[in-house]
């Protein structure tokens, strides 16, 4: 990684803070602080200590500067600027007050004041914090810059150090409603957040080190990282992965020749593990000597790898959803079978036959899903269940074959275990037959 070779004299300062909200008779209010030494009004924040996460640092610094013990809310965004020539990134979270105490840090903080959001925006001394607060849920939206101002921004940024350039598009929009995440999704979201945080620091180093005048790649990468945070806020794992991959591809434009060659060697090894056409295409793109490796070749290879990874993640999630549905259907079928066991006559036999046919077709469908042989990328439950239900009905054919064999060749007692085994087998064959027929039809239409 690029951050591992960052020179000691060019560190990146990591900091975290919070926007503390409360409801009052006057409306929504936020807490801002006045720093004595800098003589400015700012949002409470501070540097991250060794071994401390951004979230832990945000809660600790807020309590030290305001005396408020808070509960962490949703992620809001990141600002970046230069602190005495050193790049500094500050991540902010929304917070709510659990307990309000007196300020312990009177040497640095002169005053902590609750203000309505519009008044706090006017009071803050720094433009990036003003922009971040203006996009908070109940705050009025700032007008988007017009075409003239948008043309002036690149010229103004070109005349100042990159580390001091505010990322105007880095402020997140109000988050979409959050859906409840499973325990598995929570682990993936936590890992994705850590990777995004680490990559943001790496990106700041690459941006500072780059001697190129055109740093549009860095702005695009920052935009994608902000999209990752918005996806995390709505528990959109797949969207977050896509945006993080896009940000990493943009960052390739900040690598030097030796780093490009190293990244190409890594991609060649990854291509050997990809059995689809993407792996072959990656090998073709990277089959040139290291000195001829270009950024375009590398980003194209990375995009192929990312598409393969995204498709694999999509297939895995889809297969898991379908397997859960199959288990639910089999459980319901077992429950529905119990009343028929109390009846007399042919129904007492036909019901178990249908059940074992369903179990056989479900087993066949589960095997296809787990081995990746299901070619359908359509997340349609009906398309997946139709061969399964057809296989269940095919179990009746097993019942008919069993009755014929018993009547034709056997004059002894009937073994129900043989009947159920035959129904299970016919259920498997029926599901596999219809699924194979549908796949063949799709392939013929594709060739045509």
Which one has a higher pLDDT value, 345 or 240?
A: 240
* Residues comprising the chain, all counted: 448
Mean pLDDT of all residues in 369-397:
64
pLDDT tier for residue 448 given thresholds of 50, 70 and 90: very low
Mean pLDDT of all residues in 207-227:
82
Do 247 and 379 lie in one domain? The reply is no
Residue 414's contacts (CB-CB under 8 Å, 6 or more residues apart) are 406
Do 236 and 379 lie in one domain? The reply is no
- Give the range with max mean pLDDT: 150-154, 225-229, 422-426: 225-229
CB burial of residue 350 (10 Å; 0-12, 13-18, 19+) = middle
pLDDT tier for residue 44 given thresholds of 50, 70 and 90: very high
Do the domain assignments include residue 45? yes
Helix and strand tally (H, E) in the chain?
A: 13, 7
Do 245 and 349 lie in one domain? The reply is no
Strand, helix or coil for residue 73: strand
Do the domain assignments include residue 306? no
Please report the pLDDT score of residue 235 as a whole number.
81
Do 102 and 247 lie in one domain? The reply is yes
Angle between helices 295-337 and 257-272 (to 10 degrees): 30
Please report the pLDDT score of residue 75 as a whole number.
83
Mean pLDDT of all residues in 278-302:
87
Do 21 and 136 lie in one domain? The reply is yes
Exposure string (b/e) for 240-255, b if CB count within 10 Å is 16 or more? Answer: bbbbbbbbbbbbbbbb
Does the pLDDT at position 164 exceed 80?
A: no
Do the domain assignments include residue 12? yes
Angle between helices 381-409 and 295-337 (to 10 degrees): 50
Do 7 and 108 lie in one domain? The reply is yes
Do the domain assignments include residue 301? no
Does the pLDDT at position 174 exceed 80?
A: no
Which one has a higher pLDDT value, 53 or 364?
A: 53
Residue 168's contacts (CB-CB under 8 Å, 6 or more residues apart) are 131, 145, 153
Please report the pLDDT score of residue 192 as a whole number.
85
- Domain edge (last residue) among 254, 278, 297: 254
Do 228 and 347 lie in one domain? The reply is no
Q: Specify the DSSP element, H or E, that contains 41.
A: strand 40-42
Question: Which residues lie across from 46 on neighbouring strands?
Answer: 16
Do the domain assignments include residue 37? yes
Please report the pLDDT score of residue 104 as a whole number.
67
Taking only the tens place, the pLDDT of each residue in 17-37 is 999 998 888 778 999 999 888
Do the domain assignments include residue 154? yes
Q: Total structural domains in the chain? A: 2
Please report the pLDDT score of residue 147 as a whole number.
37
The CATH number for 94's domain is 3.90.79.10
Please report the pLDDT score of residue 240 as a whole number.
85
Does the pLDDT at position 445 exceed 70?
A: no
**Mean pLDDT across the chain:** 75
Please report the pLDDT score of residue 373 as a whole number.
55
Please report the pLDDT score of residue 198 as a whole number.
84
Do 141 and 35 lie in one domain? The reply is yes
Please report the pLDDT score of residue 199 as a whole number.
86
SS (H, E, C) 111-162: EEEEEEHHHHHHHCCCHHHHHHHHCCCCCCCCCCCCHHHHHHHHHHHHCCCH
Which one has a higher pLDDT value, 80 or 407?
A: 80
Mean pLDDT of all residues in 431-448:
56
pLDDT tier for residue 384 given thresholds of 50, 70 and 90: low
Please report the pLDDT score of residue 30 as a whole number.
92
Do 33 and 132 lie in one domain? The reply is yes
Its domain, for residue 368, covers 343-447
Do 217 and 106 lie in one domain? The reply is yes
- Domain edge (last residue) among 254, 287, 311: 254
Low-confidence winner among 41-55, 85-99, 373-387 (lowest mean pLDDT): 373-387
Do the domain assignments include residue 405? yes
Which one has a higher pLDDT value, 87 or 22?
A: 22
Which one has a higher pLDDT value, 433 or 406?
A: 433
Do 191 and 72 lie in one domain? The reply is yes
Does the pLDDT at position 338 exceed 60?
A: yes
Which one has a higher pLDDT value, 234 or 155?
A: 234
Mean pLDDT of all residues in 386-400:
72
Taking only the tens place, the pLDDT of each residue in 100-111 is 887 665 678 888
Mean pLDDT of all residues in 60-83:
86
Do the domain assignments include residue 293? no
- Domain edge (last residue) among 237, 254, 271: 254
Low-confidence winner among 6-10, 14-18, 106-110, 175-179 (lowest mean pLDDT): 6-10
Please report the pLDDT score of residue 45 as a whole number.
93
Please report the pLDDT score of residue 58 as a whole number.
92
Do 360 and 222 lie in one domain? The reply is no
Task: Give yes or no for a contact between 182 and 126, defined as CB atoms under 8 angstroms apart.
Answer: no
Q: Pairing between strand 86-100 and 68-83?
A: antiparallel
Angle between helices 295-337 and 347-370 (to 10 degrees): 170
Mean pLDDT of all residues in 281-309:
86
């Amino acid at each position: 990684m690029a951050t591992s070779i960052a020179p000691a004299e060019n560190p990146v300062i990591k900091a975290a803070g919070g926007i503390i909200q409360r409801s009052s008779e006057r409306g929504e209010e936020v807490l801002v602080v006045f720093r004595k030494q800098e003589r400015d009004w700012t949002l409470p924040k501070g540097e991250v200590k060794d071994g401390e996460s951004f979230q832990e640092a945000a809660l600790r610094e807020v309590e030290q500067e305001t005396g408020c013990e808070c509960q962490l809310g949703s992620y809001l965004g990141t600002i970046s600027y230069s602190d005495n020539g050193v790049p500094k990134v500050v991540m902010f979270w929304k917070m709510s007050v659990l307990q309000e105490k007196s300020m312990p840090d009177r040497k640095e903080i002169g005053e902590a004041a609750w203000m309505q959001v519009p008044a706090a925006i006017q009071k803050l001394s720094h433009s990036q914090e003003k922009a971040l607060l203006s996009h908070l849920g109940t705050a009025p939206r700032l007008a988007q810059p017009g075409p003239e101002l948008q043309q002036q921004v690149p010229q103004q940024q070109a005349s100042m150090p990159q580390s001091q350039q505010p990322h105007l598009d880095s402020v997140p929009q109000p988050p979409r409603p959050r859906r409840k995440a499973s325990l598995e999704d929570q682990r993936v979201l936590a890992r994705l957040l850590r990777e995004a945080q680490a990559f943001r620091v790496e990106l700041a180093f690459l941006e500072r080190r780059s001697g190129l005048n055109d740093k549009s790649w860095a702005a695009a990468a920052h935009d994608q990282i902000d999209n990752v945070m918005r996806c995390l806020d709505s528990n959109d794992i797949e969207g977050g992965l896509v945006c993080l991959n896009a940000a990493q591809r943009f960052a390739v434009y900040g690598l030097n020749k030796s780093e490009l060659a190293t990244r190409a060697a890594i991609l060649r090894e990854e291509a050997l593990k990809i059995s689809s056409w993407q792996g072959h295409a990656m090998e073709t793109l990277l089959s040139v000597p290291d000195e001829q490796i270009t950024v375009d070749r590398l980003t194209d290879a990375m995009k192929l790898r990312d598409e393969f990874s995204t498709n694999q993640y999509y297939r895995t999630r889809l297969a898991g959803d379908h397997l859960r549905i199959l288990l639910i259907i089999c459980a319901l079928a077992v429950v529905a079978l119990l009343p028929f066991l109390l009846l007399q006559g042919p129904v007492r036999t036909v019901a178990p036959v249908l059940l074992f046919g369903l179990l056989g077709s479900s087993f066949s469908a589960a095997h296809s899903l787990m081995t990746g042989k299901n070619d359908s990328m359509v997340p349609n439950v009906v398309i997946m269940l139709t061969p399964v239900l057809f296989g269940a009905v095919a179990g009746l054919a097993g019942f008919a074959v069993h009755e014929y064999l018993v009547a034709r060749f056997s004059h002894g007692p009937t073994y129900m275990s043989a009947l159920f085994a035959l129904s299970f087998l016919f259920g498997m064959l029926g599901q596999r037959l219809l699924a194979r027929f549908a796949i063949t039809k799709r392939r013929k239409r594709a060739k045509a």
